[in-house]
Amino acid sequence: MRTVGVEEEMLLVDVRTGRPRSVSGQMLAHAPRRRPESAGVGVHGAIAAELQQQQIETRTAPAADMAALRAEVRRWRSEAVSAARGTGSSVAALATSPLPVRPVLTRSPRYDWLGDRYQLTAREHLTCGCHVHVSVDSDEEGVGVLDRIRVWLPSLLALSANSPFWNGQDSGYASYRSQAFARWPSWGPADRYGSAEGYHRLVRRMALSSVILDPGMVYFDARLSQHYPTVEIRAADVCFSVEEAIVVAALCRGLVETAALEWAAGRAAPDVPTQMLRFATWQAGREGLEGNLIDWRTELPRPCWSVLESLVDHVGPALQAAGDLEMVREGLARVRAEGNGAIRQRAVMAHTGQLVDVVAASVRETSSRGAG
């Protein structure tokens, strides 16, 4: 069974005003960095700094079972909430700040370079994503996977969309995070590579161009991890709830397993132009679950839930083999009934008219269910 790990970027917000606070350094001084050693686990959970001082990242240990992964995501959300409490802050699993914010870059040689190189893009950038790591046997298998899952990644963005508000106003998008990230030169959908050599050659050329600092700045929607034997799928917003994050993680594992089998069988990767995948990504970020997505097979719009059902059909055998199919179907039914983060944020705003209440709703979700 392929193991799965989840990285969640989240906002640090003032417990009274809901505004992001630049307290990550203070928080991390008291936060646990490693979990106790567990048999068979080679990578451990942690809380780490991120680009801006108003955010942190949690990292779970890898798990082969979705119940164990759910417990890991809950545990590290809870650890983050506990560590933030000492700074008069809390944690909100929101992909952008609903309230106005002036981001403050975390001080480090790497982030100083980013600030100098990208200027306003870096200074304004405060977004939070959900990155799912799924184990692969080799770089060759991993690149075979990347070439085959790229067409499905906009669907994961639509499902997870959790950033309708930006700097005090409704952006008009379900995921404005996807728009903010489009300002970075190495963001987004990527071409097919054909082989591990082709992938690594492109990454080397990108790094040597001086446009990016190093391979760690390859912000593709999916990439080979630099540090783990995994494919890292980066398309999703940080999810509003733990249960949504687990559905996204299970779908990612299903995509990787399905693609790996196709690669091993010699089935060709879908020949879809990257420009059309950029269109599909824009559409997913704009409409989320409340409109149409672009079906990569026809390159035409279809109702979002129809496209998501096609995704589940595509990975259904892999989900069934992992014991995840019923959980995924139940989770998607719950999201369809209750809405994803973007829908739920806008519902709170429509009810109270106050963006601070949107943040408060996320804080409650992140701390109460996240600590369960």
pLDDT of 32 reads: 66
Mean pLDDT of 102-123: 96
- Reply yes or no on whether the pLDDT at 228 is more than 70: yes
The stretch 202-223 carries a mean pLDDT of 96
The predicted-structure confidence for 33-44, as pLDDT tens digits, reads as follows 544 433 333 345
**pLDDT tens per residue across span 248-259:** 999 999 999 999
Domains within the chain, CATH numbers bracketed = 4-369 (3.30.590.20)
**pLDDT-based confidence at residue 339 (cuts at 50, 70, 90):** very high
Mean pLDDT of 362-371: 79
The answer, yes or no, to whether residue 261 has pLDDT greater than 80, is yes
Q: pLDDT class for 273, splitting at 50, 70, 90?
A: very high
The overall average pLDDT reported for the chain is 94
Tell me the per-residue pLDDT of 140-191, one tens digit each, with 9 for 90 and over: 999 999 999 999 999 999 999 999 999 999 999 999 999 999 999 999 999 9
* Cα radius of gyration rounded to whole Å, the chain: 19
- Span 347-366, mean pLDDT? 98
pLDDT in tens, 229-245: 999 999 999 999 999 99
